[in-house]
């Protein structure tokens, strides 16, 4: 008899292979994996991903042998494929947008102009409301074609890899800080406390950014 946990993990992976991997959080979950898990474990409806649109809902319905539901528009609308563009004449290099990007598509250092790596950008929009100077916009790359017709499995796997690599790096940094705190050496401890404080400030800034992103998406 097959292990039910193994079946569950396999199903989550198959759902994940259908989701677009932009990690945009429009579904109400922090990542595509979190949404896939919620579908399997909590029966969350399959129509909450506006990025993947109706074509991915249809695939999910086929996989799970469920009724194909129309997109839940409270999560957002299906849109063309777009990428972020930073107005380099206005950018002051505050680095906040870099922290918001789930796939490391923005490069730049403190007080230096930032730029978007076009090939990495998924158009998730998470960076847009984080900019205190409102200098990030979106450039439509697919005219009237919806995102799901342009964004193939190659794009999705590359975005997923970048996201997972970033998550691992952030986890490693956090673990390193925790180890430093545990070592109880005063100089290191104060350095790690300062880092923790910085992480906390960034975490709060990102929370505010996500909240602003939700408001931004629901603007008429």
Q: Minimal distance in Å, beta carbon 57 to ligand SF4?
A: 10
Binding site for ligand SF4 (CB under 6 A): 19-20, 22-27, 29, 31-32, 35, 49, 51-52, 84, 100-101, 103, 105-106, 116, 121-127
Q: Minimal distance in Å, beta carbon 137 to ligand SF4?
A: 10
Indicate the residue among 52 and 108 with the shorter CB distance to ligand SF4. 52
Q: Using CA atoms, how far apart are residues 57 and 71, in angstroms rounded to an integer?
A: 8
Please name the residue ranges forming H helices in 43-152: 53-64, 96-100, 147-150
DSSP state at residue 29:
S
Indicate the residue among 91 and 101 with the shorter CB distance to ligand SF4. 101
Q: Using CA atoms, how far apart are residues 153 and 66, in angstroms rounded to an integer?
A: 23
Contacts of 63 (CB under 8 A, 6+ apart): 14, 15, 18
Indicate the residue among 25 and 177 with the shorter CB distance to ligand SF4. 25
Q: Minimal distance in Å, beta carbon 175 to ligand SF4?
A: 25
- Integer CA distances (angstroms), 184 to 177, 187, 188, 190, in order: 12, 9, 8, 9
213, 104 contact by CB (below 8 A):
no
Indicate the residue among 102 and 177 with the shorter CB distance to ligand SF4. 102
Q: Minimal distance in Å, beta carbon 11 to ligand SF4?
A: 15
């Amino acid at each position: 008899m097959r292990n039910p946990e193994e079946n569950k993990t396999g199903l989550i992976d198959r759902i994940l292979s259908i989701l677009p991997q932009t990690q945009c959080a429009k579904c109400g979950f922090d990542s595509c994996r979190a949404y896939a898990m919620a579908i399997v474990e909590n029966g969350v409806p399959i129509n909450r991903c506006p990025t993947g649109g109706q074509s991915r809902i249809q695939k999910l319905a086929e996989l799970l042998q469920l009724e194909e539901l129309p997109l839940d528009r409270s999560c957002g609308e299906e849109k063309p494929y777009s990428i972020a563009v930073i107005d380099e004449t206005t950018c002051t290099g505050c680095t906040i947008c870099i922290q918001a990007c789930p796939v490391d598509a923005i490069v730049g250092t403190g007080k230096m102009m930032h730029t978007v790596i076009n090939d990495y950008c998924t158009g998730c929009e998470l960076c847009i409301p984080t900019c205190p100077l409102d200098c990030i916009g979106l450039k439509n790359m697919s005219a009237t074609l919806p995102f799901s017709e342009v964004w193939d499995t190659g794009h999705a796997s590359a975005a997923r890899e970048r996201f997972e690599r970033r998550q691992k790096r952030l986890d490693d940094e956090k673990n390193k800080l925790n180890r430093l705190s545990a070592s109880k050496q005063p100089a290191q401890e104060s350095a790690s406390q300062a880092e923790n404080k910085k992480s906390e400030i960034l975490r709060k800034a990102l929370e505010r950014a996500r909240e602003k992103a939700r408001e931004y998406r629901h603007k008429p």
